[in-house]
Structure 1
Amino acid sequence: MILYPAIDLKDGQCVRLYKGEMTQATVFNDDPAAQGRAFAQQGAEWLHLVDLNGAFAGTPVNAHAVESILDAVTIPCQLGGGIRDMATIEGWLKRGLQRVILGTVAVENPALVREAAAAFPGQVAVGIDAREGRVATKGWAEETNVNVIDLARQFEDAGVAAIIYTDINRDGAMQGPNVDATAALARAVTIPVIASGGVSRLEDLIALRDCGAKLDGAISGRALYDGKLDLAEALAVLKA
Protein backbone atom coordinates (compact mmCIF):
# COMPACT_ATOMS: atom_id res chain seq x y z
CA MET A 1 0.00 0.00 0.00
CA ILE A 2 1.44 3.34 -1.10
CA LEU A 3 1.33 6.37 1.19
CA TYR A 4 0.66 9.57 -0.74
CA PRO A 5 1.61 12.80 1.07
CA ALA A 6 -0.91 15.47 0.11
CA ILE A 7 -0.09 18.98 -1.02
CA ASP A 8 -3.31 20.99 -1.24
CA LEU A 9 -2.84 24.31 -3.02
CA LYS A 10 -4.84 27.47 -2.32
CA ASP A 11 -3.70 30.87 -3.55
CA GLY A 12 -0.25 29.42 -4.29
CA GLN A 13 0.28 28.11 -0.76
CA CYS A 14 0.22 24.65 0.83
CA VAL A 15 -2.87 24.44 3.03
CA ARG A 16 -5.19 21.97 4.68
CA LEU A 17 -8.91 22.48 4.87
CA TYR A 18 -11.24 21.33 7.63
CA LYS A 19 -13.98 19.10 6.19
CA GLY A 20 -13.57 20.72 2.79
CA GLU A 21 -14.40 24.27 3.90
CA MET A 22 -12.34 26.85 1.97
CA THR A 23 -12.94 29.36 4.77
CA GLN A 24 -11.24 27.00 7.23
CA ALA A 25 -7.82 26.74 5.61
CA THR A 26 -4.58 26.47 7.57
CA VAL A 27 -1.42 27.49 5.73
CA PHE A 28 1.47 25.08 6.34
CA ASN A 29 3.99 26.23 3.75
CA ASP A 30 4.14 29.13 1.31
CA ASP A 31 6.70 27.31 -0.86
CA PRO A 32 5.06 24.32 -2.58
CA ALA A 33 8.29 23.26 -4.30
CA ALA A 34 10.13 23.10 -0.98
CA GLN A 35 7.30 21.05 0.51
CA GLY A 36 7.44 18.62 -2.39
CA ARG A 37 11.19 18.25 -2.02
CA ALA A 38 10.84 17.65 1.72
CA PHE A 39 8.38 14.81 1.22
CA ALA A 40 10.55 13.28 -1.51
CA GLN A 41 13.66 13.49 0.69
CA GLN A 42 11.79 11.65 3.45
CA GLY A 43 11.20 8.74 1.09
CA ALA A 44 7.77 9.41 -0.43
CA GLU A 45 7.18 7.39 -3.59
CA TRP A 46 4.32 9.56 -4.87
CA LEU A 47 2.82 13.01 -4.22
CA HIS A 48 -0.89 13.80 -4.25
CA LEU A 49 -1.57 17.37 -5.41
CA VAL A 50 -4.87 19.25 -5.32
CA ASP A 51 -5.65 22.60 -6.92
CA LEU A 52 -8.32 23.72 -4.48
CA ASN A 53 -9.08 27.01 -6.23
CA GLY A 54 -9.24 25.11 -9.51
CA ALA A 55 -11.81 22.69 -8.11
CA PHE A 56 -14.17 25.61 -7.51
CA ALA A 57 -13.28 27.54 -10.67
CA GLY A 58 -13.47 24.55 -12.99
CA THR A 59 -10.11 25.36 -14.55
CA PRO A 60 -6.50 25.25 -13.28
CA VAL A 61 -5.69 28.16 -10.95
CA ASN A 62 -2.54 27.03 -9.11
CA ALA A 63 -0.69 25.92 -12.24
CA HIS A 64 2.50 27.79 -11.32
CA ALA A 65 2.64 26.10 -7.91
CA VAL A 66 2.04 22.67 -9.44
CA GLU A 67 4.73 23.26 -12.05
CA SER A 68 7.19 24.32 -9.35
CA ILE A 69 6.63 20.99 -7.58
CA LEU A 70 7.06 19.03 -10.81
CA ASP A 71 10.34 20.84 -11.41
CA ALA A 72 11.52 20.16 -7.85
CA VAL A 73 10.95 16.39 -7.58
CA THR A 74 11.60 13.27 -9.62
CA ILE A 75 8.94 11.07 -7.98
CA PRO A 76 5.56 10.73 -9.75
CA CYS A 77 2.75 13.15 -8.92
CA GLN A 78 -1.00 12.98 -9.35
CA LEU A 79 -3.22 16.07 -9.52
CA GLY A 80 -6.89 16.82 -9.07
CA GLY A 81 -8.89 20.03 -9.16
CA GLY A 82 -10.18 21.95 -12.16
CA ILE A 83 -9.40 19.26 -14.74
CA ARG A 84 -12.55 19.06 -16.84
CA ASP A 85 -11.60 18.79 -20.52
CA MET A 86 -9.25 16.82 -22.75
CA ALA A 87 -7.01 19.81 -23.47
CA THR A 88 -6.28 20.29 -19.77
CA ILE A 89 -5.71 16.56 -19.26
CA GLU A 90 -3.30 16.36 -22.17
CA GLY A 91 -1.53 19.55 -21.14
CA TRP A 92 -0.84 18.35 -17.62
CA LEU A 93 0.37 14.92 -18.72
CA LYS A 94 2.71 16.52 -21.24
CA ARG A 95 3.96 18.81 -18.48
CA GLY A 96 5.11 15.83 -16.45
CA LEU A 97 2.23 14.70 -14.26
CA GLN A 98 2.01 10.95 -13.99
CA ARG A 99 -1.72 10.90 -13.32
CA VAL A 100 -4.68 13.27 -13.51
CA ILE A 101 -7.69 12.91 -11.22
CA LEU A 102 -11.14 13.55 -12.65
CA GLY A 103 -13.82 14.27 -10.07
CA THR A 104 -16.66 16.57 -11.05
CA VAL A 105 -16.63 15.40 -14.67
CA ALA A 106 -16.96 11.79 -13.54
CA VAL A 107 -20.48 12.74 -12.49
CA GLU A 108 -21.30 15.36 -15.12
CA ASN A 109 -19.51 13.93 -18.16
CA PRO A 110 -18.54 10.27 -17.63
CA ALA A 111 -17.87 9.94 -21.35
CA LEU A 112 -14.88 12.24 -20.94
CA VAL A 113 -13.43 9.91 -18.30
CA ARG A 114 -13.73 7.00 -20.70
CA GLU A 115 -12.21 8.97 -23.56
CA ALA A 116 -9.30 10.14 -21.43
CA ALA A 117 -8.63 6.69 -19.93
CA ALA A 118 -8.52 5.20 -23.43
CA ALA A 119 -6.23 7.95 -24.72
CA PHE A 120 -3.87 7.89 -21.74
CA PRO A 121 -3.76 4.33 -20.30
CA GLY A 122 -2.77 4.17 -16.66
CA GLN A 123 -2.74 7.96 -16.26
CA VAL A 124 -6.37 8.78 -15.46
CA ALA A 125 -7.94 8.30 -12.03
CA VAL A 126 -11.44 9.04 -10.80
CA GLY A 127 -11.83 11.11 -7.67
CA ILE A 128 -14.96 10.29 -5.68
CA ASP A 129 -15.61 12.67 -2.80
CA ALA A 130 -18.59 11.96 -0.60
CA ARG A 131 -20.61 12.89 2.44
CA GLU A 132 -22.71 10.14 4.00
CA GLY A 133 -22.20 7.95 0.95
CA ARG A 134 -23.35 10.58 -1.56
CA VAL A 135 -21.01 12.19 -4.07
CA ALA A 136 -20.16 15.90 -3.88
CA THR A 137 -18.79 17.91 -6.81
CA LYS A 138 -17.27 21.31 -7.70
CA GLY A 139 -14.81 21.45 -4.84
CA TRP A 140 -17.26 19.62 -2.56
CA ALA A 141 -19.59 22.61 -2.76
CA GLU A 142 -22.46 20.81 -4.51
CA GLU A 143 -24.21 17.73 -3.17
CA THR A 144 -25.64 15.08 -5.51
CA ASN A 145 -27.86 12.06 -5.04
CA VAL A 146 -25.27 9.83 -6.69
CA ASN A 147 -24.21 6.83 -4.64
CA VAL A 148 -20.44 6.26 -4.31
CA ILE A 149 -20.45 2.59 -5.34
CA ASP A 150 -22.90 3.18 -8.19
CA LEU A 151 -20.60 5.85 -9.63
CA ALA A 152 -17.49 3.71 -9.23
CA ARG A 153 -19.10 0.75 -11.00
CA GLN A 154 -19.78 2.92 -14.06
CA PHE A 155 -16.05 2.91 -14.76
CA GLU A 156 -15.30 -0.77 -14.21
CA ASP A 157 -14.59 -1.33 -17.90
CA ALA A 158 -13.15 2.12 -18.66
CA GLY A 159 -9.52 1.35 -17.84
CA VAL A 160 -9.09 3.99 -15.14
CA ALA A 161 -5.93 3.63 -13.08
CA ALA A 162 -7.48 4.15 -9.65
CA ILE A 163 -10.38 5.51 -7.66
CA ILE A 164 -9.44 8.05 -5.02
CA TYR A 165 -12.16 7.95 -2.39
CA THR A 166 -12.43 10.84 0.05
CA ASP A 167 -14.78 10.94 3.01
CA ILE A 168 -15.26 14.71 3.23
CA ASN A 169 -16.39 14.69 6.84
CA ARG A 170 -13.12 13.04 7.83
CA ASP A 171 -10.85 15.26 5.71
CA GLY A 172 -8.58 17.44 7.81
CA ALA A 173 -10.50 16.50 10.95
CA MET A 174 -7.80 14.18 12.38
CA GLN A 175 -10.52 11.69 13.38
CA GLY A 176 -9.35 8.67 11.45
CA PRO A 177 -10.48 7.40 8.04
CA ASN A 178 -13.83 5.83 7.23
CA VAL A 179 -12.39 2.33 7.03
CA ASP A 180 -15.72 0.54 6.59
CA ALA A 181 -16.90 2.68 3.67
CA THR A 182 -13.51 2.54 1.98
CA ALA A 183 -13.32 -1.24 2.34
CA ALA A 184 -16.88 -1.62 1.03
CA LEU A 185 -15.97 0.37 -2.08
CA ALA A 186 -12.79 -1.64 -2.63
CA ARG A 187 -14.75 -4.89 -2.42
CA ALA A 188 -17.42 -3.61 -4.82
CA VAL A 189 -15.06 -2.84 -7.73
CA THR A 190 -11.94 -4.28 -9.32
CA ILE A 191 -10.41 -0.81 -9.85
CA PRO A 192 -7.61 -0.05 -7.36
CA VAL A 193 -8.86 2.18 -4.52
CA ILE A 194 -6.85 4.87 -2.73
CA ALA A 195 -8.22 6.04 0.63
CA SER A 196 -8.34 9.71 1.59
CA GLY A 197 -9.66 11.71 4.51
CA GLY A 198 -8.83 11.43 8.19
CA VAL A 199 -5.56 9.45 8.09
CA SER A 200 -3.93 10.96 11.15
CA ARG A 201 -1.76 8.32 12.81
CA LEU A 202 0.09 5.11 12.14
CA GLU A 203 -2.78 3.02 13.46
CA ASP A 204 -5.06 4.48 10.76
CA LEU A 205 -2.76 3.27 8.01
CA ILE A 206 -2.53 -0.17 9.58
CA ALA A 207 -6.33 -0.33 9.87
CA LEU A 208 -6.66 0.48 6.17
CA ARG A 209 -3.97 -2.00 5.22
CA ASP A 210 -5.64 -4.75 7.25
CA CYS A 211 -9.28 -3.86 6.45
CA GLY A 212 -9.95 -7.09 4.57
CA ALA A 213 -10.08 -5.43 1.16
CA LYS A 214 -7.07 -4.69 -0.99
CA LEU A 215 -6.33 -0.97 -1.03
CA ASP A 216 -3.78 0.47 -3.42
CA GLY A 217 -2.85 3.39 -1.20
CA ALA A 218 -3.77 6.04 1.33
CA ILE A 219 -3.43 9.81 1.33
CA SER A 220 -2.44 11.87 4.35
CA GLY A 221 -1.96 15.59 4.72
CA ARG A 222 -2.55 17.43 7.97
CA ALA A 223 -1.07 14.69 10.15
CA LEU A 224 2.22 14.89 8.25
CA TYR A 225 2.34 18.68 8.57
CA ASP A 226 1.40 18.59 12.25
CA GLY A 227 3.95 15.89 13.00
CA LYS A 228 1.28 13.47 14.26
CA LEU A 229 2.38 11.01 11.58
CA ASP A 230 6.05 10.42 10.82
CA LEU A 231 6.42 9.84 7.08
CA ALA A 232 9.58 7.74 7.25
CA GLU A 233 8.16 5.53 9.99
CA ALA A 234 4.86 5.11 8.15
CA LEU A 235 6.61 4.16 4.92
CA ALA A 236 8.72 1.60 6.75
CA VAL A 237 5.68 0.00 8.37
CA LEU A 238 3.76 -0.23 5.09
CA LYS A 239 6.73 -1.76 3.29
CA ALA A 240 7.19 -4.31 6.06
Structure 2
Amino acid sequence: MILFPAIDLKDGQCVRLKLGDMGQATVYNDDPAAQARSFRALGFDWLHVVDLNGAFEGRAVNRGAVERILTAVEGMKVQLGGGIRDLPAIEAWLAAGIERVILGTVAVRDPALVRAACARFPGRVVVGIDARGGKVAVEGWAEASELGAVDLARKFEDAGVAAIVYTDIDRDGILKGINFEATLALARAVSIPVIASGGLASMADIERLMQPDCRILQGAISGRAIYDGRLDPKAALERIARG
Protein backbone atom coordinates (compact mmCIF):
# COMPACT_ATOMS: atom_id res chain seq x y z
CA MET A 1 0.00 0.00 0.00
CA ILE A 2 1.50 3.31 -1.12
CA LEU A 3 0.51 6.61 0.50
CA PHE A 4 1.03 9.41 -2.01
CA PRO A 5 1.25 12.95 -0.64
CA ALA A 6 -0.20 15.39 -3.17
CA ILE A 7 1.18 18.62 -4.51
CA ASP A 8 -1.36 20.43 -6.67
CA LEU A 9 0.12 23.34 -8.60
CA LYS A 10 -1.78 26.51 -9.43
CA ASP A 11 0.04 29.61 -10.62
CA GLY A 12 3.32 28.19 -9.33
CA GLN A 13 2.01 27.62 -5.81
CA CYS A 14 1.12 24.51 -3.84
CA VAL A 15 -2.65 24.59 -3.31
CA ARG A 16 -5.64 22.43 -2.52
CA LEU A 17 -8.97 22.85 -4.25
CA LYS A 18 -12.42 22.19 -2.85
CA LEU A 19 -14.55 19.92 -5.04
CA GLY A 20 -12.25 20.60 -7.97
CA ASP A 21 -13.18 24.27 -8.13
CA MET A 22 -10.27 26.49 -9.21
CA GLY A 23 -12.06 29.38 -7.54
CA GLN A 24 -11.84 27.60 -4.18
CA ALA A 25 -8.09 27.21 -3.87
CA THR A 26 -6.26 27.34 -0.55
CA VAL A 27 -2.56 28.16 -0.86
CA TYR A 28 -0.46 26.01 1.46
CA ASN A 29 3.03 26.78 0.23
CA ASP A 30 4.38 29.23 -2.33
CA ASP A 31 7.49 27.05 -2.68
CA PRO A 32 6.39 23.63 -4.03
CA ALA A 33 9.99 22.37 -4.09
CA ALA A 34 10.31 23.03 -0.36
CA GLN A 35 7.02 21.22 0.19
CA ALA A 36 8.32 18.26 -1.78
CA ARG A 37 11.51 18.17 0.29
CA SER A 38 9.45 18.10 3.48
CA PHE A 39 7.48 15.12 2.20
CA ARG A 40 10.70 13.28 1.38
CA ALA A 41 12.05 14.06 4.86
CA LEU A 42 8.92 12.52 6.37
CA GLY A 43 9.73 9.23 4.66
CA PHE A 44 7.39 9.17 1.67
CA ASP A 45 8.65 7.13 -1.30
CA TRP A 46 6.30 8.63 -3.88
CA LEU A 47 4.95 12.08 -4.69
CA HIS A 48 1.74 12.82 -6.59
CA VAL A 49 1.91 16.10 -8.53
CA VAL A 50 -0.83 17.73 -10.60
CA ASP A 51 -0.50 20.79 -12.82
CA LEU A 52 -3.97 22.22 -12.26
CA ASN A 53 -3.53 25.06 -14.75
CA GLY A 54 -2.25 22.53 -17.24
CA ALA A 55 -5.31 20.35 -16.78
CA PHE A 56 -7.50 23.25 -17.90
CA GLU A 57 -5.25 24.54 -20.66
CA GLY A 58 -4.05 21.22 -22.06
CA ARG A 59 -0.36 22.04 -21.79
CA ALA A 60 2.40 22.25 -19.17
CA VAL A 61 1.74 25.57 -17.42
CA ASN A 62 3.66 24.89 -14.19
CA ARG A 63 6.66 23.28 -15.87
CA GLY A 64 9.16 25.37 -13.90
CA ALA A 65 7.63 24.37 -10.57
CA VAL A 66 7.64 20.68 -11.54
CA GLU A 67 11.26 20.86 -12.64
CA ARG A 68 12.24 22.47 -9.33
CA ILE A 69 10.41 19.70 -7.47
CA LEU A 70 12.31 17.05 -9.43
CA THR A 71 15.61 18.71 -8.59
CA ALA A 72 14.66 19.05 -4.92
CA VAL A 73 13.72 15.39 -4.45
CA GLU A 74 16.10 13.66 -6.83
CA GLY A 75 15.69 9.93 -6.36
CA MET A 76 12.13 10.17 -5.07
CA LYS A 77 9.48 8.71 -7.38
CA VAL A 78 7.12 11.33 -8.80
CA GLN A 79 3.94 10.76 -10.78
CA LEU A 80 2.60 13.77 -12.69
CA GLY A 81 -0.74 14.63 -14.21
CA GLY A 82 -2.41 17.68 -15.70
CA GLY A 83 -2.33 18.79 -19.33
CA ILE A 84 -0.31 15.87 -20.70
CA ARG A 85 -2.04 15.27 -24.02
CA ASP A 86 0.44 13.85 -26.56
CA LEU A 87 3.39 11.49 -26.94
CA PRO A 88 6.06 14.21 -27.15
CA ALA A 89 4.87 15.63 -23.81
CA ILE A 90 4.87 12.17 -22.25
CA GLU A 91 8.36 11.43 -23.54
CA ALA A 92 9.68 14.81 -22.39
CA TRP A 93 8.39 14.40 -18.83
CA LEU A 94 9.68 10.85 -18.49
CA ALA A 95 13.06 11.96 -19.80
CA ALA A 96 13.05 14.82 -17.27
CA GLY A 97 12.78 12.39 -14.37
CA ILE A 98 9.06 11.83 -13.87
CA GLU A 99 8.51 8.18 -12.95
CA ARG A 100 4.92 7.92 -14.20
CA VAL A 101 2.67 10.23 -16.19
CA ILE A 102 -1.06 10.39 -15.51
CA LEU A 103 -3.34 10.66 -18.53
CA GLY A 104 -6.87 11.83 -17.82
CA THR A 105 -8.67 13.87 -20.47
CA VAL A 106 -6.77 12.17 -23.30
CA ALA A 107 -7.87 8.76 -21.98
CA VAL A 108 -11.43 9.79 -22.85
CA ARG A 109 -10.66 11.76 -26.02
CA ASP A 110 -8.00 9.49 -27.53
CA PRO A 111 -7.75 6.00 -25.99
CA ALA A 112 -5.44 4.92 -28.82
CA LEU A 113 -2.85 7.42 -27.60
CA VAL A 114 -2.91 5.84 -24.15
CA ARG A 115 -2.35 2.42 -25.67
CA ALA A 116 0.52 3.73 -27.77
CA ALA A 117 2.10 5.37 -24.73
CA CYS A 118 1.81 2.17 -22.69
CA ALA A 119 3.47 0.19 -25.47
CA ARG A 120 6.29 2.71 -25.78
CA PHE A 121 6.81 3.32 -22.05
CA PRO A 122 5.87 0.10 -20.20
CA GLY A 123 4.94 0.54 -16.57
CA ARG A 124 5.12 4.32 -16.71
CA VAL A 125 1.62 5.33 -17.80
CA VAL A 126 -1.24 5.82 -15.34
CA VAL A 127 -4.83 6.58 -16.31
CA GLY A 128 -6.60 9.21 -14.24
CA ILE A 129 -10.33 8.68 -13.92
CA ASP A 130 -12.07 11.60 -12.27
CA ALA A 131 -15.75 11.00 -11.65
CA ARG A 132 -18.69 13.00 -10.39
CA GLY A 133 -21.75 10.89 -9.63
CA GLY A 134 -20.04 7.94 -11.28
CA LYS A 135 -19.60 9.79 -14.59
CA VAL A 136 -16.19 10.78 -15.91
CA ALA A 137 -15.24 14.47 -15.97
CA VAL A 138 -12.54 15.92 -18.23
CA GLU A 139 -10.67 19.16 -18.98
CA GLY A 140 -9.69 19.75 -15.37
CA TRP A 141 -13.12 18.51 -14.24
CA ALA A 142 -14.77 21.41 -16.06
CA GLU A 143 -16.66 19.15 -18.48
CA ALA A 144 -18.86 16.17 -17.69
CA SER A 145 -19.27 13.15 -19.92
CA GLU A 146 -21.79 10.35 -20.07
CA LEU A 147 -19.06 7.75 -19.78
CA GLY A 148 -19.06 5.66 -16.62
CA ALA A 149 -15.84 5.24 -14.65
CA VAL A 150 -15.89 1.44 -14.88
CA ASP A 151 -16.62 1.58 -18.62
CA LEU A 152 -13.60 3.81 -19.19
CA ALA A 153 -11.34 1.64 -17.05
CA ARG A 154 -12.31 -1.49 -18.97
CA LYS A 155 -11.17 0.11 -22.22
CA PHE A 156 -7.60 -0.20 -20.97
CA GLU A 157 -7.80 -3.65 -19.43
CA ASP A 158 -5.24 -5.12 -21.82
CA ALA A 159 -3.28 -1.94 -22.61
CA GLY A 160 -0.53 -2.29 -20.02
CA VAL A 161 -1.61 0.63 -17.82
CA ALA A 162 0.46 0.73 -14.62
CA ALA A 163 -2.40 1.96 -12.44
CA ILE A 164 -5.64 3.92 -12.35
CA VAL A 165 -5.99 6.96 -10.12
CA TYR A 166 -9.68 7.11 -9.27
CA THR A 167 -10.83 10.45 -7.92
CA ASP A 168 -14.29 11.00 -6.52
CA ILE A 169 -14.71 14.70 -7.28
CA ASP A 170 -17.61 14.98 -4.84
CA ARG A 171 -15.21 14.05 -2.02
CA ASP A 172 -12.13 15.92 -3.17
CA GLY A 173 -10.77 18.49 -0.76
CA ILE A 174 -13.63 18.35 1.75
CA LEU A 175 -12.31 15.70 4.16
CA LYS A 176 -15.40 13.51 4.06
CA GLY A 177 -13.48 10.27 3.75
CA ILE A 178 -12.60 8.12 0.76
CA ASN A 179 -15.50 6.74 -1.26
CA PHE A 180 -14.53 3.14 -0.58
CA GLU A 181 -17.68 1.70 -2.13
CA ALA A 182 -17.06 3.21 -5.57
CA THR A 183 -13.29 2.79 -5.42
CA LEU A 184 -13.45 -0.88 -4.50
CA ALA A 185 -16.19 -1.50 -7.09
CA LEU A 186 -13.86 -0.15 -9.75
CA ALA A 187 -10.90 -2.16 -8.43
CA ARG A 188 -12.95 -5.36 -8.54
CA ALA A 189 -14.15 -4.64 -12.09
CA VAL A 190 -10.67 -4.49 -13.63
CA SER A 191 -7.29 -6.14 -13.17
CA ILE A 192 -5.45 -2.80 -13.29
CA PRO A 193 -4.23 -1.63 -9.86
CA VAL A 194 -6.34 1.24 -8.50
CA ILE A 195 -5.22 4.22 -6.39
CA ALA A 196 -7.88 5.93 -4.28
CA SER A 197 -8.06 9.71 -4.48
CA GLY A 198 -10.37 12.29 -2.98
CA GLY A 199 -11.57 12.73 0.57
CA LEU A 200 -8.91 11.01 2.70
CA ALA A 201 -9.52 12.67 6.03
CA SER A 202 -7.84 10.95 8.96
CA MET A 203 -6.24 7.83 10.41
CA ALA A 204 -9.66 6.21 10.18
CA ASP A 205 -9.23 6.14 6.41
CA ILE A 206 -5.74 4.66 6.79
CA GLU A 207 -7.13 1.95 9.07
CA ARG A 208 -9.85 1.23 6.51
CA LEU A 209 -7.21 0.99 3.77
CA MET A 210 -5.42 -1.68 5.79
CA GLN A 211 -8.43 -3.99 5.90
CA PRO A 212 -8.29 -7.18 3.81
CA ASP A 213 -10.75 -6.04 1.13
CA CYS A 214 -8.57 -3.02 0.36
CA ARG A 215 -5.49 -5.08 -0.38
CA ILE A 216 -6.42 -4.99 -4.05
CA LEU A 217 -5.71 -1.24 -4.05
CA GLN A 218 -2.24 0.00 -4.94
CA GLY A 219 -2.54 2.96 -2.61
CA ALA A 220 -4.21 6.24 -1.77
CA ILE A 221 -3.52 9.94 -2.25
CA SER A 222 -3.68 12.44 0.60
CA GLY A 223 -3.71 16.20 0.29
CA ARG A 224 -5.65 18.52 2.56
CA ALA A 225 -5.64 16.11 5.52
CA ILE A 226 -1.85 16.30 5.67
CA TYR A 227 -1.68 20.04 5.09
CA ASP A 228 -4.33 20.76 7.73
CA GLY A 229 -2.67 18.48 10.27
CA ARG A 230 -5.62 16.07 10.43
CA LEU A 231 -3.39 13.19 9.36
CA ASP A 232 -0.03 12.57 11.01
CA PRO A 233 2.17 11.43 8.10
CA LYS A 234 4.61 9.50 10.27
CA ALA A 235 1.82 7.66 12.09
CA ALA A 236 0.15 6.84 8.78
CA LEU A 237 3.37 5.52 7.24
CA GLU A 238 4.14 3.47 10.33
CA ARG A 239 0.65 1.92 10.24
CA ILE A 240 1.04 1.05 6.58
CA ALA A 241 4.49 -0.44 7.21
CA ARG A 242 2.98 -2.74 9.85
CA GLY A 243 0.51 -4.04 7.28
Please list the CA deviations of residues 143-166 of structure 1 after superposition, one character each: whole Å capped at 9, or x if unmatched.
000000010011010001000000
Correspondences of 1:85-234 after superposition (within 5 Å): 85-210=86-211, 212-213=213-214, 214-234=216-236
> In 1, Cα distance between the equivalents of 2:154 and 2:10?
31
Runs of 4+ residues over 2 Å off in structure 1? none
Contact kept? 1:209, 1:215, Cα under 8 Å: no
Asked whether 1:14 is paired with 2:30, we answer no
Question: 1:226 is aligned with what amino acid?
Answer: D
Deviation at 1:208, TM superposition (A): 2.7
* TM-score, normalised relative to structure 2: 0.98
> In 1, Cα distance between the equivalents of 2:15 and 2:68?
16
Q: SS in structure 1 opposite 2:170?
A: helix
Question: 1:232 is aligned with what amino acid?
Answer: K
1:30 maps to which residue?
Answer: 30
Distance 1:194 1:150, change over 3 A: same
> In 2, Cα distance between the equivalents of 1:203 and 1:109?
38
Deviation at 1:210, TM superposition (A): 1.8
Deviation at 1:211, TM superposition (A): 6.2
Question: 1:218 is aligned with what amino acid?
Answer: A
Question: 1:111 is aligned with what amino acid?
Answer: A
> In 1, Cα distance between the equivalents of 2:240 and 2:59?
35
Deviation at 1:200, TM superposition (A): 1.1
Question: 1:200 is aligned with what amino acid?
Answer: A
The Cα RMSD (Å) is: 0.7
Question: 2:100 is aligned with what amino acid?
Answer: R
> In 1, Cα distance between the equivalents of 2:78 and 2:151?
28
Question: 1:7 is aligned with what amino acid?
Answer: I
The number of residue pairs the alignment matches comes to 240
Query: Unaligned regions of 5+ residues in structure 2, if any?
Result: none
Deviation at 1:205, TM superposition (A): 1.9
* TM-score, normalised relative to structure 1: 0.99
Q: SS in structure 1 opposite 2:157?
A: coil
Aligned residues with identical type, % of pairs: 64
> In 2, Cα distance between the equivalents of 1:237 and 1:208?
10
> In 2, Cα distance between the equivalents of 1:54 and 1:221?
19
> In 2, Cα distance between the equivalents of 1:209 and 1:145?
33
Please list the CA deviations of residues 94-142 of structure 1 after superposition, one character each: whole Å capped at 9, or x if unmatched.
0000000000000000000000000000000000000010000000000
